[in-house]
Amino acid sequence: MFWGITLRGEGAYYTKGKYFYYSEEPPAGATGLTALLLSPLGKDLVAGGTGAVEKNYGEWTAGFDDHDFVFDDLYLNLQFNQKVIIKHEETLSQDKYINHVLWNVKYFMVNKKYCISTKGAYNIKDKSLYGNGEFLVKPADNLELMVGAWIMEGKEDTDIGQFDHNDMVYIAGKLTF
């Protein structure tokens, strides 16, 4: 029943840091050294900090691959990825869980001379999506021609990247020798 299907998973633990910055717009009435000391960076340095805050993450991914899903030449890869914030400094506001669904689907036709594909990720909480649709033609063994589009919708700044105004259409070629 599961011949040809690969189940996979991985896990990681890491620390991610973020540095405070000095704002060009100081608090009302503050100038010079006073403005620096009242900035987030100044407050942290005065309190004995390093100018950085950190979050400790645990991250895991579970998913599966199948190169002949349902019928021949249909590739399907689905994954669920979750970041769990184990510990973070109280000055940071952050959701405890960040959940993504990732996919890659390819359908090859006519002895793999044509391919229709889609790939992308969806952030469940932010409802942010980046997705790609592509059509590939392979007129020769060493030449691939692609036309596709990236659709990016959701919050302007998310865990997966910058969104909202970055949709694009493209034409590409790949020549190998």
Residue-level pLDDT, tens digit, the chain, 177 residues:
455 556 666 666 655 555 555 455 555 665 666 655 656 666 666 666 666 666 677 888 888 888 888 889 999 999 998 888 776 656 555 667 889 999 999 999 999 999 999 999 998 888 888 899 999 999 999 999 999 999 888 776 666 666 566 788 999 999 998
Please report, for residues 65, 84, 152, 168, the alpha-carbon distance to residue 155 in angstroms, rounded to integers and kept in the order given: 29, 20, 9, 17
Q: Confirm if 167 and 133 have CB atoms less than 8 A apart.
A: no
Residue-wise pLDDT tens digits, 124-161: 888 888 899 999 999 999 999 999 999 888 776 666 66
Q: Where are the domains of the chain?
A: 61-91+99-175
Give the per-residue pLDDT at 158.
Answer: 65
pLDDT the model gives residue 1: 45
pLDDT score recorded for residue 38: 59
For residue 47, what is the enclosing H or E element? Answer: none
Closest residue by Cα to residue 94 from 12, 40, 156, 18: 18
The two structure tokens encoding residue 29 = 């009435």
Closest CA relative to residue 78, chosen from 42, 130, 118: 118
Chain centre to alpha carbon of residue 127 = 13
| 3-state DSSP assignment of residue 40 | helix
How far apart (Å, rounded) are the C-alpha atoms in residues 64 and 70?
A: 14
Residue with tokens 């942290």: 44
Whether pTM exceeds 0.75:
no
E-state strands within 41-161? 52-66, 74-88, 97-109, 114-123, 128-140, 143-153
